[in-house]
Structure 1
Amino acid sequence: MNKATKNNFKSKLLTIFSLLFVLLLSSCEEVVNLDLETGEAKIVIDAEILWNKDTDGKTQTIKISKMAPYYNTSTPKVSGAQVRVVNNEGTTFTFAETDPGSYVCTDFVPVLNMEYTLFIEAEGKSFTAVEKLISVTPINKIEQRYMPDVDGDDLLVLSVFYNDPADQENFYLTYFTTDFLKIPYYLISNDKFSNGNEIKDEFSDTDLKPGKTVKIVHRGISKNFFNYMNLILEASSANPFGGSPANIRGNIVNTNNSNDFALGYFRLCEANTVSYTMQ
């Protein structure tokens, strides 16, 4: 075999292997949808009464939906439900449906430490839950600093400080939102080791740069809701909207069948909301 023939043979062989390599890469990118079993579509109730310190708290929204199959791109909304909240003095606050699955009250009266009961009639089922409106100690200081990062440039860290009251057991939920986050970044804390002292919550991200504005919503929450959120965040790696390995039960019960509970947690929180622009 002469030199030209050898080179031609090598060139053809190289071409064949190149084509096989490209086909292999193309096959690796093929999307495979698994035939997953679909369980019972439980009702999901997002019932948070959030009273920001700088508002009257009159307008509140409760959302009702259903679980959807894994590959669905939308969440089924539950319409036609009857939704009301009653305080322990017997005052009733009615939530009217304004959009599919969205129920709004415009005359709610928030009172700290008062007990409220949620009543929902949806798709022939009756649900109820009881919770108190929990106060919050306000944010008193916001700072930022750079922290060394072994994987690249130093990271900007946003720190939020608040003073914990010494005369009570307290639990907090703080979340951070900004334009590069698809979902809020959640932090829960308590005063088990810092009762009566200053508490610090921190948020950082590789995309957190000078000029970015971060919205901070700092809530007071009950011990039971703290335990619930702790389970949610542990199961979903700090992403409360991610898939969890099990349906974690909240405080919303079916009055006719306790095993057919709704997903979600009825909570009432006083909140301190502030925005901070990174320097």
Structure 2
Amino acid sequence: MQSINKYTFKSKALFFLSLLSVLFFASCEDVVKLDLENGPTKLVVDAEIIWQKGTTGNVQVIKVSKTAPYYNNTTPKVSGAQVKVENSNGDIFTFNETEPGSYVCNNFVPVLNMEYTLSVTAEGQSFKAVEKLTSVAPIDRVEQEIHKDGVGDETIEIVYYFKDPADQTNYYLADFKSDFLLYPEYILTDDELYNGNEINNRFTNDDDKIVPGKTIDITHRGISKNFYNYMKLILEIYGGSPFSIPPGNIRGNIVNTTDPNNFAFGYFRLCEADKVSYLVK
């Protein structure tokens, strides 16, 4: 399917393994640590409002942290921030800090196609972002298939199907999670060539770890065109978990209203989602 892009962590892992192999054989005695330049510290706002079908969607979480040098093993959490979301009716939903850097709202009201404004005040800076809550076509069914490669080796593919609405342009983001994956695998989809038709997304694993008894968790989201373009750029550059470490200077929709040059990383998005757990047979 031309309009589907799939990204995994594996491409980056292989790159670093190759790099480490070169360094190892170049010097078996010296420990090599690359001297990487550290950029300015930036605020990171992980703000996904996700409304799972069949739930009220009232509990939502927004995380606020900071960028850190590459070799740091921890992500600096930002405490004491003020976080709220306001809808176009003027209703305000306050997110209270429940643990360092994690802000929770227990009375959020999701409404499809309604506009919401995120406001974050942290460390003397104010940030805002505006986005609409995007609907999603439900998952109709999940199947598994046997895929044979050119030499006859067989692997299991997990395939889910959904019917794309014909009266609108749609963009989708899916992630697949399982206990054998270090990071989720992501698929971006648009309906440019398949508007109004049934679309299927396929998940397979090159290491043959999709075996009977494994559970695959699928989250299928409706997303805006702007977020689609943002995710496409991030996944093309980074190829892995898109919210753990912001790659490069890719700017989202979060604007610093105190100092426009001191922008934050992250993207405020509101997605309706359908979730399915599939047990491999």
TM range (shorter): 0.7 to 0.9
TM-score, with length taken from structure 2: 0.87
Selected match of 2:219 from 217, 220, 225: 217
Aligned to 2:84: 84
Where does 1:1-279 land on structure 2 (aligned, <5 Å)? 27-28=27-28, 31-150=31-150, 153-205=153-205, 206-240=208-242, 246-279=248-281
> Does the CA contact (< 8 Å) of 1:236 and 1:242 recur in 2?
no
Whole-angstrom distance in 1 between the partners of 2:45 and 2:246? 17
SS in 2 for 1:188: strand
Structure 2 residues not aligned, in runs of 5+: 1-23
Q: CA RMSD, aligned part only?
A: 1.8
**Gap change, CA 1:234 and 1:219, over 3 Å in 2:** same
Q: After the TM superposition, which of the residue ranges 144-153 and 160-169 deviates more from structure 2? A: 144-153
**Secondary structure in 2 aligned to 1:28?**
coil
Note if contact 1:61-1:102 (Cα within 8 Å) is conserved in structure 2. yes
CA drift at 1:31: 3.5
Distance 2:131 2:247 in 1: 26
Amino acid of the residue matched to residue 38 of structure 1? N
User: In 1, are the aligned partners of 2:243 and 2:266 still within 8 Å (CA)?
Assistant: no
Per-residue Cα deviation, 1:42-80 (whole angstroms, up to 9, x for no partner): 110000000001210000000001011010110000000
Give the deviation of 1:256 after TM superposition: 2.1
Contact 2:67-2:245 within 8 A present in 1 as well: no
Please give the secondary structure, in 2, of the residue aligned with 1:200: strand
CA 1:35–1:159 in 2, change beyond 3 Å: closer, same or farther? Answer: same
* Distance in 1 between residues matched to 2:247 and 2:266, nearest whole Å: 15
How many pairs align? 256
Q: What is the CA–CA distance in structure 2 between the aligned matches of 1:55 and 1:259, rounded to whole Å?
A: 39
Query: Structure 1 105/25 Cα, relative in aligned 2: closer, same or farther at 3 Å?
Result: same
Q: 1:116 to 1:191 in 2, by over 3 A?
A: same
* In structure 1, distance between residues paired with 2:148 and 2:53: 36
Instruction: Measure, in 2, the Cα distance between the counterparts of 1:38 and 1:64.
Output: 20
The answer on whether the counterparts of 2:246 and 2:266 sit within 8 Å (CA) in structure 1 is: no
What percentage of aligned pairs have identical amino acids? 59
TM-score normalized by the length of structure 1: 0.87
CA distance in 2, matches of 1:243, 1:95: 23
* Secondary structure of the corresponding residue to residue 75 of structure 2: coil
Name the structure 2 match of 1:15: none
Q: Distance in 1 between matches of 2:238 and 2:173?
A: 16
Structure 1: 4+ residue segments shifted above 6 A: none
Q: Following the alignment from structure 2 to structure 1, what is the Cα–Cα distance between the partners of residues 122 and 151?
A: 50
Per-residue Cα deviation, 1:118-168 (whole angstroms, up to 9, x for no partner):
000001110000000001010001111111135784111111110000000
Q: 1:257: Cα distance to partner?
A: 2.0
The alignment partner of 1:78 has SS state of coil
One-letter amino acid matched to 1:267: R
Give, in whole Å, the separation in 2 of the partners of 1:63 and 1:182: 21
Cα distance in 2 for partners of 1:240, 1:84 equals 23
8 A contact 2:215–2:278 mirrored in 1: yes
Question: 1:94, 1:216 → 2: CA distance?
Answer: 29
Deviation at 1:207, TM superposition (A): 1.0
Deviation digits for residues 81-111 of structure 1 (CA, Å, limit 9, x no counterpart)? 0000000000000000000000000000000
2:10 alignment counterpart? none
Greater C-alpha Rg? 1
Q: How far off is 1:30 after superposition?
A: 5.0
CA distance in 2, matches of 1:212, 1:157: 12
Instruction: Check the 8 A contact 1:217/1:272 in 2, yes or no.
Output: yes
Contact 1:136 1:219 in 2 (8 A): yes
Partner amino acid, structure 1, of 2:116: Y
Q: Give, in whole Å, the separation in 1 of the partners of 2:216 and 2:156.
A: 12
